[in-house]
Protein backbone atom coordinates (compact mmCIF):
# COMPACT_ATOMS: atom_id res chain seq x y z
CA UNK A 1 0.00 0.00 0.00
CA UNK A 2 2.98 2.35 0.48
CA UNK A 3 3.69 2.17 -3.29
CA UNK A 4 0.96 4.76 -3.84
CA UNK A 5 2.70 7.44 -1.79
CA UNK A 6 6.44 6.86 -2.37
CA UNK A 7 8.73 7.30 -5.34
CA UNK A 8 10.27 4.12 -6.82
CA UNK A 9 13.60 4.90 -5.15
CA UNK A 10 11.96 5.50 -1.77
CA UNK A 11 9.87 2.38 -2.20
CA UNK A 12 12.97 0.27 -2.92
CA UNK A 13 14.75 1.70 0.14
CA UNK A 14 11.69 1.08 2.30
CA UNK A 15 11.52 -2.56 1.20
CA UNK A 16 15.22 -3.09 2.02
CA UNK A 17 14.80 -1.58 5.48
CA UNK A 18 11.69 -3.66 6.03
CA UNK A 19 13.47 -6.88 4.98
CA UNK A 20 16.41 -6.31 7.34
CA UNK A 21 14.14 -5.14 10.19
CA UNK A 22 11.84 -8.12 9.83
CA UNK A 23 14.75 -10.58 9.62
CA UNK A 24 16.34 -9.17 12.76
CA UNK A 25 13.03 -9.07 14.58
CA UNK A 26 12.27 -12.64 13.57
CA UNK A 27 15.66 -13.85 14.86
CA UNK A 28 15.17 -12.08 18.19
CA UNK A 29 11.67 -13.51 18.47
CA UNK A 30 12.84 -17.08 17.91
CA UNK A 31 15.53 -16.85 20.61
CA UNK A 32 13.19 -15.14 23.05
CA UNK A 33 10.21 -17.41 22.47
CA UNK A 34 12.28 -20.57 22.78
CA UNK A 35 14.00 -19.39 25.97
CA UNK A 36 10.81 -18.20 27.66
CA UNK A 37 8.90 -21.35 26.73
CA UNK A 38 11.72 -23.46 28.15
CA UNK A 39 11.56 -21.56 31.46
CA UNK A 40 7.79 -21.97 31.73
CA UNK A 41 7.88 -25.68 30.88
CA UNK A 42 10.79 -26.34 33.24
CA UNK A 43 9.06 -24.74 36.21
CA UNK A 44 5.72 -26.30 35.25
CA UNK A 45 7.35 -29.73 35.46
CA UNK A 46 8.95 -28.69 38.75
CA UNK A 47 5.53 -27.72 40.08
CA UNK A 48 4.08 -31.10 39.03
CA UNK A 49 6.87 -32.90 40.91
CA UNK A 50 6.76 -30.89 44.14
CA UNK A 51 3.28 -29.31 43.98
CA UNK A 52 4.88 -25.97 44.87
CA UNK A 53 7.35 -23.40 43.57
CA UNK A 54 9.82 -21.27 45.45
CA UNK A 55 9.22 -17.53 45.50
CA UNK A 56 11.91 -16.66 42.97
CA UNK A 57 10.78 -19.49 40.68
CA UNK A 58 7.24 -18.12 40.58
CA UNK A 59 8.53 -14.64 39.71
CA UNK A 60 10.79 -16.00 36.96
CA UNK A 61 7.89 -18.00 35.52
CA UNK A 62 5.66 -14.90 35.46
CA UNK A 63 8.50 -12.89 33.91
CA UNK A 64 8.82 -15.47 31.12
CA UNK A 65 5.05 -15.49 30.58
CA UNK A 66 4.95 -11.69 30.27
CA UNK A 67 7.83 -11.84 27.80
CA UNK A 68 6.03 -14.37 25.60
CA UNK A 69 2.85 -12.25 25.47
CA UNK A 70 5.02 -9.21 24.68
CA UNK A 71 6.65 -11.03 21.79
CA UNK A 72 3.35 -12.25 20.34
CA UNK A 73 1.76 -8.81 20.55
CA UNK A 74 4.90 -7.29 19.03
CA UNK A 75 4.58 -9.62 16.03
CA UNK A 76 1.04 -8.36 15.44
CA UNK A 77 2.11 -4.74 15.91
CA UNK A 78 5.08 -5.01 13.53
CA UNK A 79 3.05 -6.86 10.91
CA UNK A 80 0.36 -4.18 10.85
CA UNK A 81 2.85 -1.32 11.19
CA UNK A 82 5.25 -2.25 8.39
CA UNK A 83 2.58 -3.47 5.94
CA UNK A 84 0.20 -0.54 6.53
CA UNK A 85 -2.76 -2.75 7.42
CA UNK A 86 -4.34 -0.44 10.00
CA UNK A 87 -7.32 0.33 7.78
CA UNK A 88 -7.99 -3.41 7.47
CA UNK A 89 -7.77 -4.27 11.15
CA UNK A 90 -9.40 -1.12 12.55
CA UNK A 91 -8.85 0.90 15.69
CA UNK A 92 -10.06 -1.82 18.07
CA UNK A 93 -7.00 -4.00 17.43
CA UNK A 94 -4.80 -1.02 18.21
CA UNK A 95 -6.75 -0.32 21.41
CA UNK A 96 -6.22 -3.87 22.66
CA UNK A 97 -2.72 -4.49 21.31
CA UNK A 98 -1.20 -1.20 22.49
CA UNK A 99 -2.61 -1.78 25.98
CA UNK A 100 -1.10 -5.28 25.99
CA UNK A 101 2.25 -3.95 24.72
CA UNK A 102 2.25 -1.51 27.65
CA UNK A 103 0.92 -3.85 30.35
CA UNK A 104 3.07 -6.96 29.90
CA UNK A 105 6.50 -5.34 29.29
CA UNK A 106 6.04 -3.04 32.29
CA UNK A 107 4.97 -6.01 34.39
CA UNK A 108 8.11 -7.87 33.26
CA UNK A 109 10.25 -4.93 34.39
CA UNK A 110 8.71 -4.95 37.86
CA UNK A 111 9.02 -8.74 38.08
CA UNK A 112 12.72 -8.34 37.33
CA UNK A 113 13.00 -5.80 40.14
CA UNK A 114 11.12 -8.07 42.55
CA UNK A 115 13.36 -10.96 41.53
CA UNK A 116 16.41 -8.94 42.58
CA UNK A 117 14.70 -8.08 45.86
CA UNK A 118 13.69 -11.68 46.63
CA UNK A 119 17.21 -12.94 45.91
CA UNK A 120 18.57 -10.21 48.19
CA UNK A 121 16.27 -11.32 51.02
CA UNK A 122 17.17 -14.96 50.38
CA UNK A 123 20.97 -14.58 50.14
CA UNK A 124 21.85 -11.73 52.50
CA UNK A 125 22.10 -12.78 56.17
CA UNK A 126 21.71 -10.02 58.75
CA UNK A 127 20.20 -10.00 62.21
CA UNK A 128 17.82 -7.11 61.58
CA UNK A 129 14.39 -7.85 62.97
CA UNK A 130 12.59 -6.44 59.94
CA UNK A 131 14.78 -8.42 57.55
CA UNK A 132 14.20 -11.66 59.46
CA UNK A 133 10.44 -11.13 59.26
CA UNK A 134 10.74 -10.64 55.52
CA UNK A 135 12.53 -13.98 55.24
CA UNK A 136 9.79 -15.72 57.21
CA UNK A 137 6.93 -14.16 55.23
CA UNK A 138 8.51 -14.07 51.80
CA UNK A 139 5.79 -16.24 50.20
CA UNK A 140 3.04 -13.89 51.35
CA UNK A 141 5.14 -10.90 50.35
CA UNK A 142 5.62 -12.25 46.83
CA UNK A 143 1.86 -12.63 46.39
CA UNK A 144 1.44 -9.00 47.43
CA UNK A 145 4.20 -7.95 45.01
CA UNK A 146 2.48 -9.74 42.13
CA UNK A 147 -0.95 -8.26 42.91
CA UNK A 148 0.49 -4.75 43.30
CA UNK A 149 2.45 -5.04 40.05
CA UNK A 150 -0.56 -6.20 38.05
CA UNK A 151 -2.74 -3.43 39.49
CA UNK A 152 -0.17 -0.71 38.79
CA UNK A 153 0.59 -1.84 35.23
CA UNK A 154 -3.11 -2.23 34.44
CA UNK A 155 -3.81 1.31 35.63
CA UNK A 156 -1.08 2.81 33.45
CA UNK A 157 -1.85 0.73 30.34
CA UNK A 158 -5.52 1.68 30.01
CA UNK A 159 -4.91 5.42 29.25
CA UNK A 160 -2.83 4.41 26.22
CA UNK A 161 -5.91 3.24 24.31
CA UNK A 162 -7.63 6.62 24.78
CA UNK A 163 -4.80 8.32 22.89
CA UNK A 164 -5.37 6.30 19.71
CA UNK A 165 -7.25 7.97 16.88
CA UNK A 166 -6.90 7.21 13.19
CA UNK A 167 -6.58 10.19 10.87
CA UNK A 168 -7.94 9.28 7.41
CA UNK A 169 -6.41 10.43 4.14
CA UNK A 170 -2.82 10.76 5.37
CA UNK A 171 0.09 8.79 3.97
CA UNK A 172 1.32 7.53 7.37
CA UNK A 173 -1.93 6.72 9.11
CA UNK A 174 -0.57 3.41 10.46
CA UNK A 175 2.39 5.20 12.06
CA UNK A 176 0.83 8.43 13.31
CA UNK A 177 -2.17 6.95 15.06
CA UNK A 178 -1.86 8.79 18.37
CA UNK A 179 -3.85 11.97 18.94
CA UNK A 180 -1.82 15.07 18.14
CA UNK A 181 -4.48 17.55 19.22
CA UNK A 182 -4.19 16.86 22.96
CA UNK A 183 -2.25 19.04 25.38
CA UNK A 184 1.49 18.45 25.38
CA UNK A 185 1.55 19.08 29.13
CA UNK A 186 -0.82 16.17 29.76
CA UNK A 187 1.23 13.82 27.60
CA UNK A 188 4.43 14.92 29.33
CA UNK A 189 2.89 14.30 32.76
CA UNK A 190 1.73 10.83 31.73
CA UNK A 191 5.09 10.01 30.11
CA UNK A 192 6.95 11.24 33.20
CA UNK A 193 4.74 9.16 35.51
CA UNK A 194 5.14 6.14 33.22
CA UNK A 195 8.92 6.50 33.20
CA UNK A 196 9.08 7.06 36.96
CA UNK A 197 6.80 4.16 37.94
CA UNK A 198 8.02 1.58 35.43
CA UNK A 199 11.65 2.52 34.84
CA UNK A 200 13.20 4.62 37.60
CA UNK A 201 11.63 2.97 40.67
CA UNK A 202 12.27 -0.61 39.45
CA UNK A 203 15.86 0.38 38.61
CA UNK A 204 16.40 1.77 42.12
CA UNK A 205 15.07 -1.46 43.63
CA UNK A 206 17.28 -3.55 41.31
CA UNK A 207 20.41 -1.56 42.15
CA UNK A 208 19.91 -1.56 45.92
CA UNK A 209 19.08 -5.28 45.98
CA UNK A 210 22.01 -6.27 43.77
CA UNK A 211 24.35 -3.97 45.68
CA UNK A 212 23.26 -5.62 48.93
CA UNK A 213 24.04 -9.06 47.50
CA UNK A 214 27.46 -7.98 46.19
CA UNK A 215 28.46 -6.31 49.48
CA UNK A 216 27.33 -9.37 51.45
CA UNK A 217 29.31 -11.76 49.23
CA UNK A 218 32.43 -9.58 49.39
CA UNK A 219 32.30 -9.22 53.18
CA UNK A 220 31.79 -12.94 53.73
CA UNK A 221 34.16 -14.25 51.07
CA UNK A 222 37.00 -14.67 53.56
CA UNK A 223 34.82 -16.60 56.00
CA UNK A 224 33.68 -18.87 53.17
CA UNK A 225 37.30 -19.51 52.17
CA UNK A 226 38.25 -20.48 55.74
CA UNK A 227 35.40 -22.98 56.07
CA UNK A 228 35.86 -24.80 52.80
CA UNK A 229 33.62 -27.80 52.21
CA UNK A 230 31.63 -29.11 49.29
CA UNK A 231 28.29 -27.68 50.39
CA UNK A 232 29.56 -24.19 51.26
CA UNK A 233 31.61 -24.05 48.07
CA UNK A 234 28.67 -24.97 45.84
CA UNK A 235 26.43 -22.51 47.71
CA UNK A 236 28.98 -19.76 47.25
CA UNK A 237 29.24 -20.47 43.52
CA UNK A 238 25.45 -20.40 43.20
CA UNK A 239 25.26 -17.03 44.98
CA UNK A 240 28.01 -15.55 42.80
CA UNK A 241 26.21 -16.85 39.71
CA UNK A 242 22.98 -15.21 40.89
CA UNK A 243 24.76 -11.88 41.50
CA UNK A 244 26.27 -11.92 38.02
CA UNK A 245 22.89 -12.83 36.53
CA UNK A 246 21.15 -9.93 38.28
CA UNK A 247 23.83 -7.46 37.20
CA UNK A 248 23.46 -8.64 33.60
CA UNK A 249 19.67 -8.21 33.80
CA UNK A 250 20.16 -4.69 35.15
CA UNK A 251 22.63 -3.84 32.37
CA UNK A 252 20.18 -5.11 29.74
CA UNK A 253 17.35 -3.16 31.36
CA UNK A 254 19.38 0.08 31.49
CA UNK A 255 20.33 -0.24 27.82
CA UNK A 256 16.74 -0.85 26.72
CA UNK A 257 15.12 1.60 29.15
CA UNK A 258 17.51 4.40 28.19
CA UNK A 259 16.55 4.13 24.55
CA UNK A 260 12.86 3.81 25.38
CA UNK A 261 12.95 6.79 27.74
CA UNK A 262 14.45 9.06 25.09
CA UNK A 263 11.88 7.94 22.52
CA UNK A 264 9.07 8.18 25.08
CA UNK A 265 9.81 11.84 25.84
CA UNK A 266 9.95 12.69 22.15
CA UNK A 267 6.62 10.93 21.59
CA UNK A 268 5.13 13.05 24.35
CA UNK A 269 6.14 16.17 22.41
CA UNK A 270 4.43 14.90 19.27
CA UNK A 271 7.00 12.77 17.41
CA UNK A 272 4.81 9.67 17.34
CA UNK A 273 6.76 7.89 14.60
CA UNK A 274 9.40 6.93 17.20
CA UNK A 275 7.02 4.43 18.80
CA UNK A 276 8.80 1.64 16.91
CA UNK A 277 11.94 2.30 18.99
CA UNK A 278 10.06 1.56 22.22
CA UNK A 279 8.52 -1.59 20.76
CA UNK A 280 11.88 -2.94 19.61
CA UNK A 281 13.60 -2.23 22.94
CA UNK A 282 10.82 -4.09 24.74
CA UNK A 283 11.29 -6.97 22.32
CA UNK A 284 15.05 -7.05 22.90
CA UNK A 285 14.56 -7.12 26.67
CA UNK A 286 11.93 -9.88 26.42
CA UNK A 287 14.26 -11.95 24.26
CA UNK A 288 17.49 -11.24 26.16
CA UNK A 289 16.24 -11.84 29.69
CA UNK A 290 15.56 -15.61 29.27
CA UNK A 291 19.11 -16.14 27.99
CA UNK A 292 20.48 -14.45 31.11
CA UNK A 293 18.06 -16.29 33.42
CA UNK A 294 18.87 -19.72 31.98
CA UNK A 295 22.60 -19.07 32.12
CA UNK A 296 22.57 -17.67 35.65
CA UNK A 297 20.09 -20.01 37.36
CA UNK A 298 21.64 -23.35 38.30
CA UNK A 299 18.39 -25.31 38.06
CA UNK A 300 17.49 -23.89 34.64
CA UNK A 301 21.03 -24.32 33.34
CA UNK A 302 21.18 -27.95 34.46
CA UNK A 303 17.76 -28.61 32.96
CA UNK A 304 18.81 -27.05 29.68
CA UNK A 305 22.03 -29.10 29.52
CA UNK A 306 20.12 -32.28 30.37
CA UNK A 307 17.55 -31.78 27.59
CA UNK A 308 19.76 -30.31 24.89
Q: What whole-number distance in Å separates Cα of residue 101 and Cα of residue 96?
A: 9
Which helix (H) or strand (E) segment holds residue 201: the answer is: helix 201-219
Q: Coil, helix or strand for 286? A: helix
C-alpha closest to that of 283 among 20, 16, 26: 26
Q: What whole-number distance in Å separates Cα of residue 233 and Cα of residue 236?
A: 5
Q: What is the pLDDT of residue 233?
A: 57
Q: Give ∠ CA 89-94-100 in degrees, rounded to 5.
A: 130
Give the up-direction half-sphere exposure of residue 18: CA atoms within 13 A in the CB hemisphere: 14
pLDDT mean over 51-69: 92
C-alpha closest to that of 43 among 284, 247, 305, 297: 297
Q: What whole-number distance in Å separates Cα of residue 241 and Cα of residue 19?
A: 38
Which residue pairs, CB below 8 angstroms and at least 24 apart, start in 301-307? 303/38, 303/42, 304/38, 304/42
Q: What whole-number distance in Å separates Cα of residue 107 and Cα of residue 285?
A: 12
pLDDT tens-digit readout, 18-39: 555 566 667 777 878 899 999 9
pLDDT tens-digit readout, 253-298: 888 877 666 555 555 444 545 566 677 778 888 888 998 999 888 8
Q: How confident is the model at residue 184 (pLDDT cuts 50, 70, 90)?
A: low
* Best mean pLDDT range from 42-56, 80-94, 162-176, 216-230: 42-56
* 95 burial level (CB within 10 Å; 0-12, 13-18, 19+): middle
pLDDT mean over 173-199: 71
Delimit the domains of the chain by residue range: 2-307
Q: Which of 13-17, 62-66, 140-144, 295-299 has the lowest mean pLDDT?
A: 13-17
CA 302 to chain centre: 24
Q: How confident is the model at residue 175 (pLDDT cuts 50, 70, 90)?
A: low
Give the relative orientation of helices 138-161 and 184-195 as an angle to the nearest 10 degrees: 160
State yes or no: pLDDT of 104 exceeds 80. Answer: yes
pLDDT mean over 187-201: 81
Q: What whole-number distance in Å separates Cα of residue 108 and Cα of residue 106?
A: 5
Average pLDDT, the chain: 78
b/e string for 205-228 if b means 16 or more Cβ within 10 A? bbbebbebbbebbeeeeeeeeeee
The CATH superfamily label for domain 2-307 reads Rhodopsin 7-helix transmembrane proteins (1.20.1070.10)
Per-residue DSSP letter, 273: G
Q: How confident is the model at residue 111 (pLDDT cuts 50, 70, 90)?
A: very high
pLDDT mean over 221-225: 59
Q: How confident is the model at residue 3 (pLDDT cuts 50, 70, 90)?
A: very low
Q: Which residues make beta-bridge pairs with 178?
A: 164
Q: How confident is the model at residue 17 (pLDDT cuts 50, 70, 90)?
A: low
State yes or no: pLDDT of 5 exceeds 80. Answer: no
Q: What is the pLDDT of residue 206?
A: 92
Q: What is the pLDDT of residue 2?
A: 43
The string of DSSP codes covering 60-117 is: HHHHHHHHHHHHHHHHHHHHHHHHT-HHHH-HHHHHHHHHHHHHHHHHHHHHHHHHHH
Residue 233 CA: distances (Å) to CA of 131, 185, 216, 243, 252: 25, 56, 16, 15, 29
Q: Coil, helix or strand for 178? A: strand
pTM of the predicted model, to two decimals? 0.83
Q: What is the pLDDT of residue 268?
A: 47
pLDDT mean over 94-117: 90
Amino acid sequence: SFDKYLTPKQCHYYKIVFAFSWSGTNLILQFGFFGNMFIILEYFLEYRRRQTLQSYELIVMLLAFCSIITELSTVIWCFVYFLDLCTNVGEMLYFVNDSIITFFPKSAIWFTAWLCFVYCVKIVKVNWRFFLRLKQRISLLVKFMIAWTLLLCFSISIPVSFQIEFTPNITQMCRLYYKSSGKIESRLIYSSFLSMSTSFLPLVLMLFSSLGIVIFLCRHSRNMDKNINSSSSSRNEAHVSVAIMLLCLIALFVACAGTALSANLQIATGEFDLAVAIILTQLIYSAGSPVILITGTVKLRNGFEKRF
